[in-house]
Amino acid sequence: MLSRRDFQIGADEVVINSDNFDRRNFGGLLKKAPNLLKLASKGKGIYPGFIPLLSDVYSALYKVKPLIKDEEVIDDLLRGNYQFMSQIMQDSEFSSLRKDSIFDDLTSALGTLHYGQELHGWIESKVEQDNELREQLAEALKSQKELNKHKDQLEKANQDLNEDKAGASKRANNAQKKVEQKKNELQNTLQEINKRFSEAIQGDSSASFQAALTQAAAKAKEENTLVQNLLSGAGIGSKDIQKVPLQEKLQLAEQLRKSSKFKNIAQWAGRFKSIAKKKRKTKVKESVERGGIIPGNDLERLLPQEMMNFQHQSTRLDFLRRFVENETLMFEKSGKSEAGKGPIILCLDQSGSMKGLDDQSKGFTLAMAMIAKKEKRDFVYIPFDNRAIKKEYNKGKINGDELILMATSFLGGGTKFYPALNMSMEAIKTYKNADVLFVTDGEPSDRQKLIKHKNELLAFKKKHHVSIMSVLIGDHADKDAVEIFSDEIMSAKDFMDAQMMERAFNLNLK
């Protein structure tokens, strides 16, 4: 268990030039990150300086210019942490991690956690190998506990002294003497401990210490990347990720550690996100190139000649006049003139036969949500087997709890198409220009119902300007059934099929 004092790290307890804001930030992080809190409690029970060491790691990651205090002003009690932080801050992998961690709460938190875990493991291994070190640490921990007790007594006595309570002066003097006595005892013990740590870091155990640092940086980088993949796939732009509550981001990171499935989905989301960006960029370029030239003032579509007019002093005023009056020349888009009116709807088969592609399909789903966010469109996710479930995400944004639910849910029953189609129609009754992507690998047991409602489906599509593209996964999907309601049908081996991705990721750029 941590005490109140453990959340209030003082300037005299750290070796990095942190200020009150940095140390308060760290105290707040302990309360938001259950894993870090647990680690701090565990580390405190093996090494007296462990929690201040975590605070130093956090400050070194979060601050723009973290510096280690001059060795001459470092308290003898902090010599061990001085050795640890000197090695950490000289490490190239730590410097690489700092490129992402400066003023970034998530990367700094993940880095603190993983460096803390590796440092704890390294210290623990030294204790197991060295009986004398174990005894010294036990003695130091006992002295530390007694020192904190006398500090609390001194603090209480000083409060009484300020209030002129009887006997307060005597109690304060006695408590001060005990604080100094226990501090000296702890200092003497820690000198031996720190000497052993220093010899281990620079001697036979230097390789294992360096390996621990490398491992910490690698884990922090990987988790940070995967969380970013999930959040960007969940419709949250890179600029907005900082606005997501830290606890929500740490919850995703914890889920990644606990679940290999969730980690696989994050990896697939990263792959699909990268591919989607490239394919949409190429398609938009082609769409513009195929269009004509029209007057207007859309900066992204201005002709190169117009940009040159702006850059030259002699033509700049004329350019600005024409730009304000909508008379500058720009490329005409040949795609849909107004993207974003209707939702993107993904009807995804989750019958039992799709289980083997579940992780891949979830990564694909997050990529589609990202596209909806980019186009400022709503995203409707309808997983189905012989029933259908509808999830609507405003402008493609999915929060952490919904992400975890999506990743861990799978229906796994039989196959019916009509419930998913009917649910998609309900979702778009108030919209136009909706794009529906219908993905299946099976044969529906409700084909006759589809035939019965065919005219109704086609009429609805026409009235609401709905386009349905169906993707048949594998060799056993029923093409005849999807022909009843589809505008376009594609066959694919899986979600990584190049032609399928080309069309799916460019639904509204036809």
End-to-end Cα distance, the chain: 61
189-240 pLDDT, tens per residue? 888 888 888 888 887 778 999 999 999 999 999 999 999 888 876 656 666 6
Output the CA–CA distances (angstroms, integers) from residue 138 to 45, 48, 65, 143, in the order listed: 9, 9, 36, 9
Alpha-helical (H) ranges within 63-205 are: 79-90, 92-101, 105-129, 131-162, 168-202
What pLDDT is attached to residue 510? 44
221 shares a domain with 154: no
Same domain, 459 and 377: yes
If asked whether residues 297 and 365 sit together in one domain, one would say: no
Q: pLDDT band for 1, please (50, 70, 90 cuts).
A: low
Give the tens place of pLDDT for each residue, 62-94. Answer: 999 999 999 888 887 788 899 999 999 999 999
Go through 97-123 and write b for each residue having 16 or more CB atoms within 10 A of its CB, e for each that does not.
bbebbeebbbbbbbbbbbbbbbbbebb
Query: Is residue 338 pLDDT above 70, yes or no?
Result: no
Is residue 281 over pLDDT 70? no
Strand partners, 468: 436
Specify the 3-state DSSP secondary structure of 347.
strand
Contacts of 258 (CB under 8 A, 6+ apart): none
Question: Mean pLDDT lowest for which of 93-102, 137-146, 234-243, 461-470?
Answer: 234-243
pLDDT exceeds 50 at position 17: yes
Q: Are residues 393 and 500 in the same domain?
A: yes
Residues 124 and 150 in one domain: no
The answer to the question of residue 266 being in a domain is no
461: pLDDT strictly greater than 80: yes
Does 64 lie in the same domain as 80? yes
Q: ∠ CA(336), CA(339), CA(344), 5° rounding?
A: 110
Q: Which of 270, 258, 278 is nearest to 228 (CA)?
A: 270
Picking from 279, 309, 332, the residue at the C-terminal end of a domain is 332
* Helix, strand and coil percent figures for the chain, each rounded to 5: 65, 10, 25
Domain that holds residue 35: 1-129+207-258
DSSP class of residue 234 equals T
pLDDT at res. 228: 87
Measure the CA–CA gap between 504 and 508, rounded to whole angstroms: 9
Q: What is the pLDDT of residue 384?
A: 96
Which pTM does this prediction carry? Answer: 0.71
- What CATH number is attached to the domain comprising 479? 3.40.50.410
Lowest mean pLDDT among 243-247, 280-284, 491-495: 280-284
105-132 pLDDT, tens digit per residue, is: 999 999 999 999 999 999 999 989 889 9
Residues 326 and 356 grouped into a single domain: no
Both structure tokens of 163: 């209030």
DSSP string for residues in 59-98: HHHHSSS--BPPGGGS-GGGHHHHHHHHHHHH-HHHHHHH
- Answer with the residue of higher pLDDT: 385 or 376: 385
Q: What is the pLDDT of residues 230-254, one digit of tens each?
A: 887 665 666 667 778 888 889 889 9
Confirm if 123 and 117 have CB atoms less than 8 A apart.
Answer: no
Q: How many domains does the chain have?
A: 4
* Domain contains 406: yes
Q: In terms of domains, do 66 and 160 share one?
A: no
Residue at 5 is within a domain: yes
Tell me: do 136 and 66 sit in the same domain: no
104, part of any domain? yes
Same domain, 194 and 212: no
In a domain, 287, yes or no: no
Does residue 358 sit in the same domain as residue 484? yes
Checking if the pLDDT of 284 tops 50, the result is no
Q: In this structure, are 179 and 225 located in the same domain?
A: no
* Domain assignment present for 239: yes
CB 371 within 8 A of CB 406: no
Q: 282 pLDDT exceeds 60?
A: no
